[in-house]
Chain A
Protein backbone atom coordinates (compact mmCIF):
# COMPACT_ATOMS: atom_id res chain seq x y z
CA UNK A 1 0.00 0.00 0.00
CA UNK A 2 1.37 3.39 -1.00
CA UNK A 3 1.88 5.61 2.03
CA UNK A 4 0.78 8.80 0.25
CA UNK A 5 -1.94 8.85 -2.39
CA UNK A 6 -2.49 11.54 -4.99
CA UNK A 7 -4.67 11.67 -8.07
CA UNK A 8 -2.26 11.89 -10.98
CA UNK A 9 -4.62 14.08 -13.02
CA UNK A 10 -4.23 15.98 -15.17
CA UNK A 11 -6.32 18.60 -13.44
CA UNK A 12 -7.32 21.33 -15.86
CA UNK A 13 -8.58 24.70 -14.67
CA UNK A 14 -9.14 28.00 -16.49
CA UNK A 15 -6.96 30.96 -15.74
CA UNK A 16 -8.18 32.84 -12.68
CA UNK A 17 -9.98 29.85 -11.16
CA UNK A 18 -9.16 28.02 -7.91
CA UNK A 19 -7.17 24.81 -8.30
CA UNK A 20 -7.67 22.21 -5.57
CA UNK A 21 -5.08 19.49 -5.11
CA UNK A 22 -5.46 16.66 -2.61
CA UNK A 23 -3.38 14.08 -0.89
CA UNK A 24 -4.42 11.25 1.46
CA UNK A 25 -2.29 9.09 3.68
CA UNK A 26 -2.65 5.73 5.27
CA UNK A 27 -2.12 6.01 9.03
CA UNK A 28 -2.37 8.38 11.92
CA UNK A 29 1.26 8.55 12.94
CA UNK A 30 2.09 12.13 13.75
CA UNK A 31 3.81 13.82 10.85
CA UNK A 32 4.45 16.94 8.84
CA UNK A 33 3.47 17.66 5.25
CA UNK A 34 4.99 19.67 2.44
CA UNK A 35 3.80 20.69 -0.98
CA UNK A 36 6.37 20.82 -3.77
CA UNK A 37 6.05 22.04 -7.32
CA UNK A 38 8.00 20.46 -10.17
CA UNK A 39 8.24 21.94 -13.63
CA UNK A 40 9.01 19.56 -16.48
CA UNK A 41 12.69 18.69 -16.55
CA UNK A 42 13.42 20.47 -13.29
CA UNK A 43 13.85 19.42 -9.68
CA UNK A 44 11.08 19.84 -7.09
CA UNK A 45 10.86 23.11 -5.18
CA UNK A 46 9.08 23.77 -1.90
CA UNK A 47 5.85 25.76 -1.94
CA UNK A 48 4.51 25.31 1.59
CA UNK A 49 4.80 23.24 4.73
CA UNK A 50 2.05 22.44 7.22
CA UNK A 51 2.42 20.72 10.56
CA UNK A 52 -0.85 21.13 12.45
CA UNK A 53 -4.54 20.81 11.73
CA UNK A 54 -6.16 23.73 9.98
CA UNK A 55 -5.29 26.15 7.23
CA UNK A 56 -2.07 27.93 6.38
CA UNK A 57 -2.02 30.70 3.83
CA UNK A 58 0.86 32.14 1.81
CA UNK A 59 -0.06 34.51 -0.97
CA UNK A 60 -2.23 32.69 -3.50
CA UNK A 61 -1.58 29.33 -1.82
CA UNK A 62 -3.48 27.76 1.08
CA UNK A 63 -2.53 24.43 2.59
CA UNK A 64 -5.09 22.52 4.64
CA UNK A 65 -4.39 19.60 6.96
CA UNK A 66 -7.01 17.33 8.54
CA UNK A 67 -5.33 14.62 10.58
CA UNK A 68 -8.60 13.00 11.68
CA UNK A 69 -9.61 12.44 8.06
CA UNK A 70 -6.01 11.85 6.97
CA UNK A 71 -5.84 14.28 4.12
CA UNK A 72 -3.91 17.37 3.16
CA UNK A 73 -4.81 19.74 0.36
CA UNK A 74 -3.40 22.69 -1.53
CA UNK A 75 -5.57 25.45 -2.94
CA UNK A 76 -4.21 27.81 -5.57
CA UNK A 77 -6.29 30.94 -6.02
CA UNK A 78 -6.31 33.02 -9.19
CA UNK A 79 -4.51 30.24 -11.07
CA UNK A 80 -2.03 31.39 -13.72
CA UNK A 81 -0.60 29.54 -16.73
CA UNK A 82 2.76 29.68 -14.93
CA UNK A 83 1.24 27.47 -12.21
CA UNK A 84 1.08 24.61 -14.73
CA UNK A 85 3.34 21.95 -13.23
CA UNK A 86 3.28 18.73 -11.24
CA UNK A 87 2.43 19.21 -7.56
CA UNK A 88 3.90 16.72 -5.14
CA UNK A 89 2.73 16.03 -1.62
CA UNK A 90 5.54 15.07 0.75
CA UNK A 91 4.89 13.34 4.05
CA UNK A 92 7.44 13.28 6.84
CA UNK A 93 7.34 10.79 9.70
CA UNK A 94 10.36 10.55 11.84
CA UNK A 95 13.05 11.53 9.38
CA UNK A 96 11.64 9.52 6.52
CA UNK A 97 10.33 11.63 3.65
CA UNK A 98 7.87 10.00 1.23
CA UNK A 99 6.39 11.68 -1.85
CA UNK A 100 3.04 11.07 -3.43
CA UNK A 101 2.94 10.33 -7.14
CA UNK A 102 2.12 13.96 -7.94
CA UNK A 103 -0.80 15.70 -9.65
CA UNK A 104 -0.35 17.36 -13.01
CA UNK A 105 -2.01 20.78 -13.08
CA UNK A 106 -2.78 22.57 -16.33
CA UNK A 107 -3.98 26.15 -16.24
CA UNK A 108 -5.53 27.22 -19.52
CA UNK A 109 -5.48 30.84 -20.60
Chain B
Protein backbone atom coordinates (compact mmCIF):
# COMPACT_ATOMS: atom_id res chain seq x y z
CA UNK B 1 0.00 0.00 0.00
CA UNK B 2 1.45 3.37 -0.98
CA UNK B 3 2.26 5.79 1.79
CA UNK B 4 1.58 9.50 1.92
CA UNK B 5 2.81 11.08 -1.28
CA UNK B 6 4.01 14.67 -1.44
CA UNK B 7 5.14 16.78 -4.35
CA UNK B 8 7.36 18.47 -5.22
CA UNK B 9 10.19 17.09 -3.07
CA UNK B 10 12.22 20.23 -3.60
CA UNK B 11 11.14 23.69 -4.70
CA UNK B 12 13.31 26.74 -5.18
CA UNK B 13 11.53 29.94 -6.00
CA UNK B 14 11.94 33.66 -5.79
CA UNK B 15 10.28 35.94 -3.32
CA UNK B 16 6.83 36.98 -4.44
CA UNK B 17 6.11 33.85 -6.44
CA UNK B 18 3.22 31.52 -5.74
CA UNK B 19 4.05 28.11 -4.34
CA UNK B 20 1.73 25.10 -4.33
CA UNK B 21 2.55 21.97 -2.36
CA UNK B 22 0.57 18.80 -2.92
CA UNK B 23 -0.33 15.79 -0.82
CA UNK B 24 -2.04 12.48 -1.42
CA UNK B 25 -2.94 10.80 1.88
CA UNK B 26 -3.15 7.08 2.48
CA UNK B 27 -6.40 5.71 1.14
CA UNK B 28 -9.01 5.37 3.86
CA UNK B 29 -7.41 7.84 6.23
CA UNK B 30 -9.88 10.40 7.51
CA UNK B 31 -7.44 12.94 8.90
CA UNK B 32 -4.85 14.98 7.05
CA UNK B 33 -2.33 17.28 8.69
CA UNK B 34 0.05 19.90 7.29
CA UNK B 35 3.19 20.64 9.31
CA UNK B 36 6.09 23.00 8.73
CA UNK B 37 9.57 22.25 10.11
CA UNK B 38 12.39 24.71 10.65
CA UNK B 39 15.45 24.61 12.86
CA UNK B 40 14.19 27.54 14.89
CA UNK B 41 10.57 26.50 15.43
CA UNK B 42 10.59 22.73 15.05
CA UNK B 43 7.50 20.97 13.69
CA UNK B 44 4.55 23.33 13.69
CA UNK B 45 1.00 22.23 12.97
CA UNK B 46 -0.43 24.51 10.30
CA UNK B 47 -3.86 23.02 9.64
CA UNK B 48 -5.70 19.73 9.77
CA UNK B 49 -8.70 18.29 7.98
CA UNK B 50 -11.24 15.66 8.92
CA UNK B 51 -13.18 14.09 6.06
CA UNK B 52 -11.99 16.90 3.76
CA UNK B 53 -13.24 19.64 6.11
CA UNK B 54 -10.72 22.03 7.70
CA UNK B 55 -11.04 21.67 11.46
CA UNK B 56 -8.31 23.86 12.90
CA UNK B 57 -6.27 26.37 10.89
CA UNK B 58 -5.03 28.37 13.87
CA UNK B 59 -1.45 27.45 13.00
CA UNK B 60 -1.53 29.01 9.56
CA UNK B 61 0.93 31.89 9.92
CA UNK B 62 -0.92 34.52 7.89
CA UNK B 63 -3.27 35.15 5.02
CA UNK B 64 -0.57 34.35 2.51
CA UNK B 65 -1.09 30.69 3.41
CA UNK B 66 -4.12 28.71 2.33
CA UNK B 67 -4.97 25.00 2.26
CA UNK B 68 -7.65 23.02 0.54
CA UNK B 69 -8.81 19.43 0.41
CA UNK B 70 -11.21 19.09 -2.51
CA UNK B 71 -11.55 15.33 -2.07
CA UNK B 72 -10.37 12.50 0.14
CA UNK B 73 -7.27 11.80 -1.95
CA UNK B 74 -5.80 15.24 -2.49
CA UNK B 75 -4.80 18.33 -0.56
CA UNK B 76 -2.86 21.47 -1.41
CA UNK B 77 -1.01 24.06 0.63
CA UNK B 78 -0.52 27.33 -1.19
CA UNK B 79 1.69 30.28 -0.33
CA UNK B 80 1.05 33.51 -2.22
CA UNK B 81 3.17 35.59 -2.26
CA UNK B 82 6.11 33.61 -0.90
CA UNK B 83 8.79 35.17 1.31
CA UNK B 84 12.27 33.99 2.33
CA UNK B 85 11.05 33.27 5.86
CA UNK B 86 8.72 30.64 4.42
CA UNK B 87 11.75 28.49 3.63
CA UNK B 88 11.22 25.20 5.48
CA UNK B 89 10.33 21.56 5.04
CA UNK B 90 6.59 21.08 4.75
CA UNK B 91 5.24 17.71 5.81
CA UNK B 92 1.87 16.21 5.11
CA UNK B 93 0.63 13.41 7.37
CA UNK B 94 -2.51 11.32 7.55
CA UNK B 95 -4.14 8.87 9.89
CA UNK B 96 -7.39 6.93 10.14
CA UNK B 97 -10.27 7.64 12.45
CA UNK B 98 -10.60 5.76 15.73
CA UNK B 99 -11.61 2.17 15.20
CA UNK B 100 -10.53 -1.40 15.79
CA UNK B 101 -7.11 -0.94 14.21
CA UNK B 102 -6.53 2.60 15.48
CA UNK B 103 -3.05 3.12 16.91
CA UNK B 104 -2.90 6.89 16.83
CA UNK B 105 0.11 6.76 14.52
CA UNK B 106 0.65 9.62 12.13
CA UNK B 107 1.90 8.54 8.70
CA UNK B 108 4.19 11.13 7.17
CA UNK B 109 5.10 11.90 3.62
CA UNK B 110 8.73 12.52 2.74
CA UNK B 111 8.27 16.27 2.90
CA UNK B 112 8.62 19.16 0.48
CA UNK B 113 11.71 21.28 0.98
CA UNK B 114 10.95 24.87 0.04
CA UNK B 115 13.61 27.51 -0.51
CA UNK B 116 12.50 31.06 -1.20
CA UNK B 117 15.28 33.30 -2.45
Contact = CB atoms under 8 A, between A and B. Distances in A.
B48 A101 contact: no
Contacts of A25: none
Interface stretch (A56-64, A73-81, A89-97): A89-97
Given A36-B106, A43-B108, A92-B104, 9 more contacts: A42-B110, A43-B109, A44-B108, A88-B42, A95-B31, A95-B50, A95-B55, A98-B45, A99-B35
A102 B109 contact: no
Interface in B1-52: 31, 33, 35, 41-45, 48, 50
- Chain A interface, >50% SS class: strand
Contact of A49 (B33, B44, B105, B110): B105
A58 to B, nearest CB: 13
Nearest to B104: A49
- Chain B interface, >50% SS class: strand
Interface of A: 32, 34, 36, 42-46, 49, 88, 90, 92, 95-102
Contacts of B42: 88, 99-102
Closest 3 CB pairs of A and B: A43-B108, A101-B42, A99-B43
B60 to A, nearest CB: 14
A90 B106 CA distance: 10
Interface residues of B, number: 21
16 contacts: A32-B104, A34-B106, A44-B91, A44-B106, A44-B108, A46-B106, A88-B42, A92-B104, A95-B31, A95-B55, A96-B45, A97-B45, A97-B48, A101-B42, A102-B42, A102-B43
